[in-house]
Amino acid sequence: MLLFQVSLKKGDFGEKCSIFTDLPGSGYDARVFQRTVMQAATVKQRALALGFSKVGIVAAVPGPETARLHQWLGQGNHGTLDWMGHPNRQDIQRVLPGVRSLVCVALNYYTPHAHSGDRHHGKISRYGWGRDYHRVLGRKLKALGRWLEAQGEGIQARWYVDTGPIMEKAWAERAGIGWIGKHSNVITREFGSWVFLGEVLTNLELEPDRPHAEHCGTCTRCITACPTGAITQPFVVDARRCLAYHTIENREPALPPAIAAQMQQWVAGCDICQDVCPWNQRFAQPTTEPDFQPYAHHRAPLLAELAQMTEAEWESRTRGSALRRIKRSQWQRNARAALGTTTVEHPDTAPEPLPAAAERPQSPLESSQDSFL
């Protein structure tokens, strides 16, 4: 196949952009073979100007995360989340054919409010306190994608924020945003793990950043603190044991007895492994995004009210919130479990105890690069 080079307008990039296309009559679509080179710094500046806390770039080439995902899935750690095994998750080219780079972003969502210690109040994970992060990040990512496409003819951009088959944590680590901690969340030096992730896929060839080194060291606080032993070994989370998975994704009428016995007031997600992380305790800083300030009814809801929630109350409480994913029956179920009033299918059967960390089956998997959230 013969190619020739044509120039594009400079746009905002300060240097000539180029695109390789086919000679006339070659029979190939020129856009498929686009190879555009531009200044990565300009793209990053634009992302930061849109309000993102961090931005990094990674080349769209395969990495070790695919094999690790296979191992994680093979152990059944995904529970009922069958979409984790979608083929597109394992091949970024199937998500956007011709993709050359991923622009990965992070947005700090931390607000300095404590969870209630009152046993009559439920606990909701910080990610769900304010406005739906899909909408907040989506608005910014859409603007970044449109800006990229406006820089030259044939430029493609497709954005995602926890909405597609993307191993966003692995890509974020490889883009230098942060590293995947032993609790499976991405930890940044500047904000801890209190960040939402998003990415823009593009057929532009951008200079990549260096992958971030792992800095958990010998710390095992998150593993020790998990009440259900969901972190079965460093970097490996078993969704079937996780409070976040069960309170959000489990659609069954009743929670497993071993989970219901360890609710600790959590009714929507769980922040235990992040609350105990030294990086969060030392480096968390308040977000500058107004949309992430907590709604009053999300910080410390009364469990008794949640247990009797009506459809109208569910509609009002979850409007504009990522918590809308949790249906009314789930809220009621979770609240009853937290209150200790759950009716289980086999009340004569005592909850099966969870094995101690030292007794849990070990796996040769060193790092799970993707989890269920």
For the segment 118-133, what is each residue's pLDDT rounded down to a tens digit?
Answer: 999 999 999 999 999 9
Residues 6+ apart with CB under 8 A from 96: 156, 158, 201, 202, 203
CA angle at 114 for the pair 112 and 120, rounded to the nearest 5° = 155
Indicate if 197 and 52 belong to the same structural domain: yes
Pairing status of strand 195-202 against strand 101-108 = antiparallel
Q: How far apart are CA 192 and CA 283, in angstroms?
A: 6
Domain assignment present for 122:
no
Domain assignment present for 364:
no
Query: Letter for the amino acid at 359?
Result: E
> Can you spell out the DSSP letters for 225-260?
H-TT--EEETTEE-GGG-HHHHHHT--SSS--HHHH
Using the 3D structure, point to which of 186, 217, 248 is the last residue of a domain: 217
CA angle at 34 for the pair 200 and 5, rounded to the nearest 5° = 140
Residues 6+ apart with CB under 8 A from 221: 276, 277, 278
Catalytic residue among 22, 162, 275, 291: 162
For residue 335, the Cα-to-chain-centroid distance in whole angstroms is 25
Indicate if 173 and 308 belong to the same structural domain: no
Domain assignment present for 119:
no
Q: How far apart are CA 113 and CA 129, in angstroms?
A: 10
Pairing status of strand 231-233 against strand 236-237 = antiparallel
Mean pLDDT by 10 residues, the chain (373 residues): 32 39 41 53 97 98 86 86 79 95 98 94 97 97 97 95 91 97 97 98 96 96 97 95 96 96 97 97 97 95 97 96 97 97 40 38 30 33
Using the 3D structure, point to which of 191, 217, 243 is the last residue of a domain: 217
Q: How far apart are CA 194 and CA 277, in angstroms?
A: 11
Indicate if 86 and 180 belong to the same structural domain: yes
Phi, then psi, of 303 in degrees rounded to 5: -65, -40
> Can you spell out the DSSP letters for 339-356?
HT-PPPS-TTSPPPPPPP
Indicate if 208 and 267 belong to the same structural domain: no
Residues 326 and 247: beta-carbon distance below 8 Å: yes
With 0-12 / 13-18 / 19 or more C-beta atoms within 10 angstroms meaning exposed / middle / buried, residue 212 is buried
Q: How far apart are CA 5 and CA 19, in angstroms?
A: 6
Using the 3D structure, point to which of 217, 235, 261 is the last residue of a domain: 217
Q: How far apart are CA 163 and CA 159, in angstroms?
A: 9
For the segment 40-69, what is each residue's pLDDT rounded down to a tens digit?
Answer: 999 999 999 999 999 999 999 988 888 888
> Can you spell out the DSSP letters for 203-222?
SEEEPPPPPPPP--TT--HH
Which among 104, 348, 327 has a CA at the least distance from the CA of 209?
Answer: 104
Domain assignment present for 234:
yes
Indicate if 259 and 239 belong to the same structural domain: yes
Known catalytic residue at 162: yes
For residue 60, give the DSSP letter. Answer: S
Number of H helices, E strands in the chain: 14, 14
Domain assignment present for 236:
yes
Indicate if 97 and 194 belong to the same structural domain: yes
Predicted confidence at residue 164, as pLDDT, reads: 86
Indicate if 50 and 30 belong to the same structural domain: no
Indicate if 234 and 308 belong to the same structural domain: yes
Indicate if 14 and 70 belong to the same structural domain: no
Residues 6+ apart with CB under 8 A from 131: 291, 292, 320, 321
Predicted confidence at residue 38, as pLDDT, reads: 60
Domain assignment present for 368:
no
> Can you spell out the DSSP letters for 285-327?
---S-GGGSPPHHHHS-BHHHHHT--HHHHHHHHTTSGGGGS-
Domain range enclosing 136: 38-113+129-217
Q: How far apart are CA 21 and CA 277, in angstroms?
A: 50
Which among 284, 341, 279, 331 has a CA at the least distance from the CA of 310?
Answer: 331
CATH number of residue 188's parent domain:
3.40.109
Indicate if 107 and 182 belong to the same structural domain: yes
Indicate if 198 and 60 belong to the same structural domain: yes
Domain assignment present for 244:
yes
Domain assignment present for 118:
no
Q: Count how many domains the chain has.
A: 3
For residue 176, give the DSSP letter. Answer: T
Indicate if 296 and 199 belong to the same structural domain: no
Q: How far apart are CA 355 and CA 29, in angstroms?
A: 58
Predicted confidence at residue 349, as pLDDT, reads: 34
pTM metric for this prediction: 0.82
